[in-house]
Structure 1
């Protein structure tokens, strides 16, 4: 692929998408505000003013270091296909990808095409190689969410006589995803030839309506993508190292919720955090940017149902958690995105 060729996924940001994102943020913030109105903003703000700064800073540091460690997962995966990118440069690119994910509806659906495009522009990697590395890294980083989430669910089943209805439904979704996602990924890979043929059939109506995309081009891109994934899968030692970084990153990703509770003076069990964080990620898969409002509402409801926290304490903990795990990352990722755009 030449450098001047625009790969699939490029140009995904336009005025219409930007307008929808802004509208999504406005709606989400309104819903968060209404959640605070129901709980009581005055009491919540009083709890936030009394929060211990050291634990807030610990949560902020944990979030940022966790992203840096997750960037190493991607770095290792890229090495398996012979793409040598300086780690310091790649971390900035990864922060930019995270920013795209966090401001895009459906949570984690927005950054992959963008970041694969940026990587292809930054290095000698083709777009398909870049996309393969991004998809593989995402799957590796998903493993801790399901396995550690299962540990947290087991803790709840052992320590709680009867799970509230809301908790049971979220636990069921977690278990379905824990089994279903790996099974689906393995099935698609096992029958990848049929999967490729299905994608080509779906693309056929599009290719008949435009001369900018051809069936041959779609097939060629799919072939290159499969070859890149096969090369990654052929490096089991490197994948084990990448999984190790994924688990370390997950621990750092989850700790801000624990630190937020300490800051408010109402500690949460670490095993309960193991359940809550994956569930909030699932709840964040909504049409609102970064899961805003859905994550806040879910976390307040679950913390209140599973602990002796008042709704005021639950909202205070949730607000601090989202401040250091979402808004801080959006701010840092936004700066990284500007830097990536400038250097490209």
Structure 2
């Protein structure tokens, strides 16, 4: 076998579910789509989306010496229905990807292993690895590399992967034959659009991040608009609704790495317990978790919105100690939650 086939075999053996290759300039439409998204202010407070747009919209500009982009998929398919917890209003719903170890660390370590192997095979090769932290538009590149396609919810899905997988990228100076671009197989299905609690999709294949619960719970700083709070339900970190209902999940591969298995206390944790976390408790509980990056204040703010949406008046006792919290958004959320539970509005 040639180097390309050996690479796919090694990466698969290392734990990746699928490998595809494209040119750095394989998604030329990305720049215009990104510009339109930002111009419409749909990126909300995510200023990093607008920064360095010449790199984010054109992977070839990020590292001009690169000739190939190796896109790799790593599955984390849950073995439980992530929507069941939404029927437990006293408990918190945490996105599946954040219920175990931080994927940034796990995927990057695996990417580096594949990268080191590649350099061993050809010492002239240069590489750079990326996992969701650089100005790289992974999803368009992954579609160009044949891993899947961006569905109507703008997330990537695959006929042989389903919805539940992370993406990693290895840019290299080696010149590999690219794979064929994948085409959309969504057909007339609108399940992902129909289930969205906040109507965050103004049209198929378009997302208004300002209404997305994943954005609101993770990226948005300060108070959330009153209209949207009531629509968040008990989702305190991320939202899996549009992923979970995708029919292509019947072909999803089982998760391979136990590091992504959910911690027992992240499956349906008590809202009352989470509301009582101070900064030290929060850091200890979510050590090694992607949840830790949003900090205690934003996390507890989200918990209080869920308490306000619970319909359980006894949970007002969990919110009362926080009405004078040093963080204004937390104090505001506590007052809102108490008002919802005591007046029913």
TM-score band, normalised by the shorter chain?
under 0.3
TM-score by length of 2: 0.28
TM-score by length of 1: 0.28
Structure 1 or 2: more strand by fraction: 2
